[in-house]
Amino acid sequence: MINCDNQFIDEKMSVKSTNKLADHMVYYGGLLTIIFYLCFLIIAWILFPNPASPLDHWLSDLGRYEVPIDGNPVWRFIDGSYKLYSELGINSIPNLGAIFYNIGCIFTGIMMMVFFIGLMKIENSEIKRIKIITNIFTLLGIIGGIFLILIGIFAEDGIFLIVNEQLAYPVHHTATLIFFLILLIIKGVAGYWALKLNLNRFITIFSWLIIIFDLIVVFTGNNYALIEWLSVLTSLALVGIIALGIRVKFLRL
């Protein structure tokens, strides 16, 4: 009879980091993912010409090249649905911070891919199940990074300072929903993956708790600005605690 408890312990004990460069990719890639996004977000927020808060502005609003001249939100809830300010006949003014937010998304997407590629080296040559989970986790992260880059390239109303809402918005909206769907799956996998690697249990608990934000975004079509902010910020926090957890576990300080 196989002792399942001992098998589980042996499986966790045998997981190892096979590459010091990969450890650095995870740690510094994760760190730069957080730094790039937050720094460019803050710059874009400061340069945004209108008052904006997470209660009435989606993150993508900060990446719009044109915003309403009346100083009110980009999207207005009227008669049971959201309407774009331009649909109401309101004129626009340029948003100088847009390019910073969009470049931030692109840089963050690149660092996100670096982070997840590094995770691929956290493996065990004998335990196929852990290798499969790690590879799935990595693939999801790379795809997520690609869609975040697309969000940066295709803003809500244009492509790199070229305002063309009819072309850009459908791509942006689709890429955004796919990105949050991928985040949802990543967090589900992350909790199980962290458990198998015997990382701090907080990572697993946190991963599974914050899935709620992505569920709301995906199944409501991203109708709540504050939930979008919470989803993104808690996702950055997850990247940070995974990077730190890997750093501590494999003693690469």
**Pick from 145, 128, 147: nearest CA to 196:** 128
Domain count, the chain: 1
Residues 144-185: pLDDT tens digits?
Answer: 999 999 999 999 999 987 889 889 999 999 999 999 999 999
40 domain-assigned: yes
Q: CB within 8 A of 96, min separation 6: which ones? A: 47, 49
Rounded to two decimals, the pTM is: 0.89
Residues 7-64: pLDDT tens digits?
Answer: 444 444 445 555 677 778 888 999 999 999 999 999 999 999 999 999 999 999 999 9
- CA 75 centroid distance within chain: 23
124 domain-assigned: yes
80 domain-assigned: no
The pair of three-digit structure tokens given for residue 162, joined into one six-digit string: 């070229």
84 domain-assigned: no
79 domain-assigned: no
Q: For residue 202, what are the domain limits?
A: 17-66+97-249
Amino acid at 201: R
1 domain-assigned: no
- Mean pLDDT value across the chain: 88
10 domain-assigned: no
pLDDT at res. 80: 87
